[in-house]
A and B are shown apart, each in its own frame.
Chain A
Amino acid sequence: LAKTTQPISMDSYEGQEVNITCSHNNIATNDYITWYQQFPSQGPRFIIQGYKTKVTNEVASLFIPADRKSSTLSLPRVSLSDTAVYYCLVGYNTDKLIFGTGTRLQVFP
């Protein structure tokens, strides 16, 4: 399984765009990149998944450069309710899914 590296924590203010970058230098050809969000006292929740270039949904965008050795989760105009831990996972479809330590995002008013 590809190892991932993320910042431990980030701070932002309401209304700003937040970009969280994940490094995965040894990503394999078949690996997908997936991001999860976890609020306190809850299980993680799927946010977005991609393989290459850019993916956008109603919650976030995911940018993946051509070499796929990193990816950036972009949260537009964050609010207080976006305060959570964000996990980047890299792996193939049938992998057992290992979570890293995640990035703790704190949004201030």
Chain B
Amino acid sequence: NAGVTQTPKFRILKIGQSMTLQCTQDMNHNYMYWYRQDPGMGLKLIYYSVGAGITDKGEVPNGYNVSRSTTEDFPLRLELAAPSQTSVYFCASRHVQRSSYNEQFFGPGTRLTVL
């Protein structure tokens, strides 16, 4: 299994541009998450999904959109990039069952700079 993969690894955007950060997992996990991490800070939850077709806001959803059309993919969309969105973005997935508590698996991250 490849686990959680993210593309691209690095990206530089100009203010006002748009882009989609890709995230794919091959572990058949039902829950998927997007976090951002600013330099020297902890992770902030942007959006999460509990299954295909279901998404919900996290702590810092403004300026982002997500979709979950399949179990495997959970893309994050930035519509009008702003310098405040300069950060490292991590995607994660987890298999949630009522009978057990399972760990969260993270991707390698996408480093985004908005100039």
Nearest-CB distance from A93 to chain B (Å)? 5
Q: Which of B44, B98, B106 contacts A45 (CB 8 A)?
A: B106
Listed from nearest, the 4 A-B pairs whose CB atoms lie closest are A43-B106, A46-B103, A99-B43, A101-B42
Q: Which of A44, A49, A96, A102 contacts B106 (CB 8 A)?
A: A44
**Residue pair B35, A99 in contact (C-beta under 8 Å):** yes
Which chain A residues lie closer than 8 Å to B35 at the CB level? 99
Q: How far is the CA of A99 from the CA of B90 in the complex (A)?
A: 13
Nearest-CB distance from B95 to chain A (Å)? 11
Contact of A2 with B by CB under 8 A: no
Which chain B residues lie closer than 8 Å to A87 at the CB level? 42-43
Residues of A within 8 A of B (CB): 32, 34, 36, 41-46, 49, 85, 87, 93-94, 96-102
Give the B interface residue count (CB, 8 A): 29
Q: A97-B45, A99-B43 are in contact. List 5 more A-B contacts (CB 8 A).
A: A34-B103, A44-B104, A44-B106, A96-B45, A97-B104
Q: How far is the CA of A100 from the CA of B101 in the complex (A)?
A: 20
A-B contact pairs, 16 of them (CB 8 A): A43-B4, A43-B106, A43-B107, A46-B103, A46-B104, A49-B101, A87-B42, A93-B98, A96-B56, A97-B33, A99-B35, A99-B43, A99-B45, A101-B41, A101-B42, A102-B42
Which residues 32-81 of B sit at the A interface, judged by CB distance below 8 A?
33, 35, 41-45, 48, 50, 56, 58-59
Q: How far is the CA of A34 from the CA of B94 in the complex (A)?
A: 14
**Residue pair A100, B42 in contact (C-beta under 8 Å):** yes
Which chain B residues lie closer than 8 Å to A102 at the CB level? 42
